[in-house]
Structure 1
Amino acid sequence: MAGSSSPWIGSAYLFLQSTCEAIALPALYESSQQKPSVFKALKLALADSTGSANGVDVLKVHCSQPHLIVQLKFCKRENCRRFLRSYREGALQESLQNHLQLFLAVTTVPLEMELKAGSEHLDSMLKDEDRCLECIYREKPDRLRDEEITKLEDCLKSLSLHWRSNNNVAVKDHASLHPPALPSSPGSSLAPQATFFFQGQEFANRTLTPDDHQKFAKLVSKKWKQVGRSLQKSCRALRDPVIDNLALEYDREGLYEQAYQMLLRFIQSEGKKATIARLIPALEENGLISLVEELLGLRSNEDCS
């Protein structure tokens, strides 16, 4: 294995294939309209698998019917170990299926995966984690990041910055960041409720605004993970281990950024269904009544000072 003075760098190829005849991943990726959605789903799933947005780099995506072949580069052994565990346990597959379903606005995207490092088929040795790590470490990357991948990465970053612009920007300007809403879960209403009650008062329901988003991140403090776990009951984008991964990824940035990113996942995944009426029960469940009052405009400036 690598010496203590040299960086741990390895490479592997992830083969992806849809088992649904109506969904051809190579064709979707070659489509200029769908490519950003497929790439974003892939990046988010890989981030979930390693617990960090920078845990694994995508160097190139090859289209070879019926496979989409993703060349991966790992710069830390521990990130690669997390990826292997996520892959072995099926968490990576489930995460990618969910993200593709969300961004492509389809009912389901059943996937088959295969992992290779050079001539080694790693699926047959996944229980021997150290052997897999050794195979990946021996397979050094043979290229720099493809120019197309760099452009897609830059596009995702610019969308994130656009969303986080100041709250004077109209909500409609952020509509492009909202993926199509998922079908309602069994038993839920088909459309967001028009009104809701809080402490005996009736309020009009509405989609969460950038101002709500910032207030939440500022005031929720250490309870952001508890709120996230309350929201995950009806939001698949916040399923484990997403919340714990966000805590790790934004640990250095602090509680505000962690809370901001958690609610951002909720807003992006639910679109117009990310409403104040869905957030408030999660806040009440965790004793955050003052935050509810702030979001509903029930607290004066003196109360909030």
Structure 2
Amino acid sequence: MNYRIEVSSRDIMASRFVVSKLIMTKTALWVLSGKKEAGPWRAWADRVREPYGRLLATEPGLPAMTALFRDHRYNADFPAPPPTGVNPPIEEELAVVRATPLAQAHDEIARNLEGMPRPPEAVLEILFSPDVVTLFADALRRAWEEIVAPAWPRFHAILERDVIQRAGRLAAYGWAAALDDLAPKVRWHPDGVIEVRSTTDETYRLDGRGVLFVPTVFPTGVGSYFEHAWPYALTYPARGAAIPHEPADGLSELIGRTRARVLLELAVPATTTRLTALLGLGLGTVGGHLAALRRAGLVASARTGRSVLYHRTALGDALAAADPGGP
């Protein structure tokens, strides 16, 4: 079964690729709760197990919220609604959560629990308490501060790279180019329909409102927001999120560890500024390594508007592909 999103030419102007700290926090909790695999973020997940455990013990809303997580069925939307801006502050996103009417929260939770094993009574008591919205928002705030925020510079660089690239494709070439490789379960049809593989058959019309595309670095699949008064939105795994942070020893020994990291990151074209954010290095350091890789014929550059994008050459691709830890 599939749900279909009917779009028009007007929807291109209204659609956006955006970053959400709150949705990133919720998808991080999916991974840490064991409901999704960590994939390339296994080392990060292992490092934050301790603070995650502390939050489970001190924030009653957290175990109750993660008890609702399930695949291929409805999940309550109010804990992490679509953002209202391109990259809003976490406080602004949490304010939307806190404004959720209690009746809506309880209705979504009841729908979420349909078909699930009955949770423990202590969890049910929290889920249907008059304070559930506040408890969820408090848990999300602390999860952001103690788990996601310390790694945000790298997370944000990956998300922003994906957003900039796909937004440029949408504006210049249309839906097919923007949605190419978005996710295996998402397909674009030339008759103006985005088709998403699902467990339900539904059809939604955008009618010029557009859709928000919200990437996450975690391999949590595609999520959808097509209810209530908020903007229509799809979440998806960001391109380039699986690029390893550390290269294998062989490639590092051949060209140096930092140059190997630069080469691996260029699986997705990037500017010098973007690479400094991804790698946590100075602009001059990254520029020097790019110059060396370019002289060796491993990378090339092309100007796009005011920016210079670096990308791997065929030789660079071959060398990166030979790295056992490479993408």
Same fold (TM over 0.5): no
TM-score, normalising length from structure 2?
0.29
TM-score, normalising length from structure 1?
0.31
